[in-house]
Structure 1
Amino acid sequence: MKTDQPLPASDCKLPDAVAENLDTISDFYARHKQEVSPAQTAIEKLSRFFGRPAYLLGIVIVSVLWISANLFADFFGWDVFDEPPFFWLQGLITLNAFLTTTTVLIRQNRMAHLADQHTHLDLQVSLLTEKKTSKIIELLEDLRRDMPQVRDRPDAEAEELDKPADPQAVLGAIENQDRDC
């Protein structure tokens, strides 16, 4: 279960780079949370409420009680307020389905936008990491060639890996592969 309470601090200190990354992530979520309107917040709370198993159980119980009350109303001397086929109950369930669907879709749209931002960030970090890795391999190969005590031998795999990938070429290959499928 997700809470807003922080986890207890452990005795080990995080490396500065990890702490900085966690701060960046926290700032990202804080900015994103500030951009959410009060109406969006209310809709998301309602959506989370609709998404609970207890809510479904409540709907089933209310429906069973509604149907039972109308079927056995004569037995208890009550007035029947919704005769079979229970048009009022159908209307209420339809309204509930409409509200549930709409609130879930609104929340999913915002979550999809947030997921798109995460994906874009992941892609940027991956591209940067790939460039850095290629540069490190290139520098290691240069160092290997320049060191007199290390035998200079060709390494085709290292030569291939020290070249940064062309993101446009990779994207084109992915698109061509998708068209072929």
Structure 2
Amino acid sequence: MTDSPYSGPNVPDHVDEAVRSVTQLHSDHHGRTTAPQRAVNRITAFMARPFFIALVGLGVIGWIGANLIASALGLQAIDGPAFVWLQGAANLFSLFVVMLVLVAQKHEDELNAHRDTLTLELAILSEHKIAKVIQLLEELRRDSPYVQDRVDRQADQMAQPADAGSVLAATRASDGV
């Protein structure tokens, strides 16, 4: 077993291997990330912090306060009450935030799609392995002189690996699709 951040004296090899496989999936996904995508991810990660909300709030309060103080002192306010410039800036900022979130979400959706595909492939593989184990147990039961031989229709059915296409068709039929 190779050393990994999850390895330890009580971690079985198959668990460590599974963790390394998932880590490799994430590493491959992030390795294919382009520089602009990494920049978007960093920006959205920064903006997703409570500190950023406070920073935007302080900026808005500062903008309004500075303009109100300028008006009270008889100076020319850059953006007087109704704060049209502030509203425009907020709208533009909101547009950019929405676009950043959508781009970051699309990137994460790609990772989730890879993870879902891997999960499906492993489930199908596991189902085939389980069917093989049932076949072997049934064969052992039939061949062993110490176990009473009998017909078990359910075990015979379970010993046959499922056809993914048939399962999908049955699911669609039951859903009315």
TM-score, reference length from structure 1: 0.85
Query: Which residue in 1 is equivalent to 2:79?
Result: 82
Give the whole-Å Cα distance in 2 for the aligned partners of 1:71 and 1:176.
66
Give the whole-Å Cα distance in 1 for the aligned partners of 2:81 and 2:73.
17
Shift of 1:106: 0.6
Query: How many residue pairs are counted as aligned between the two chains?
Result: 174
Question: Taking structure 1 as reference, are residues 158 and 9 closer, same or farther at Cα in structure 2, changes over 3 Å only?
Answer: closer
Amino acid at match of 1:174: T
Question: Taking structure 1 as reference, are residues 168 and 8 closer, same or farther at Cα in structure 2, changes over 3 Å only?
Answer: closer
TM-score, reference length from structure 2: 0.87
Give the whole-Å Cα distance in 2 for the aligned partners of 1:89 and 1:113.
36
Shift of 1:70: 2.1
Per-residue CA shift, 1:26-48, capped at 9, x if unaligned? 33322222211111111110111
Amino acid at match of 2:162: A
Please state if 1:20 is matched with 2:21. Answer: no
Structure 1 stretch 123-132 or stretch 80-89: which is displaced more? Answer: 80-89
Unaligned runs of 5+ in 2: none
Query: 1:104 is matched with which residue: 90, 101, 106?
Result: 101
1:58-137 equivalences in 2 (<5 Å): 58-137=55-134
Question: Taking structure 1 as reference, are residues 131 and 7 closer, same or farther at Cα in structure 2, changes over 3 Å only?
Answer: closer
Query: 2:154 is matched with which residue: 157, 166, 169?
Result: 157
Shift of 1:114: 1.0
Shift of 1:13: 4.6
Unaligned runs of 5+ in 1: 1-5
Q: What percentage of residue pairs aligned between the two structures are identical?
A: 32
Does the residue aligned with 1:72 lie in a helix, a strand or coil? helix
Structure 1 stretch 165-174 or stretch 55-64: which is displaced more? Answer: 55-64
Per-residue CA shift, 1:123-158, capped at 9, x if unaligned? 011001001101101110111111111112333332
Structure 1 stretch 30-39 or stretch 107-116: which is displaced more? Answer: 30-39
RMSD value, Cα: 2.1
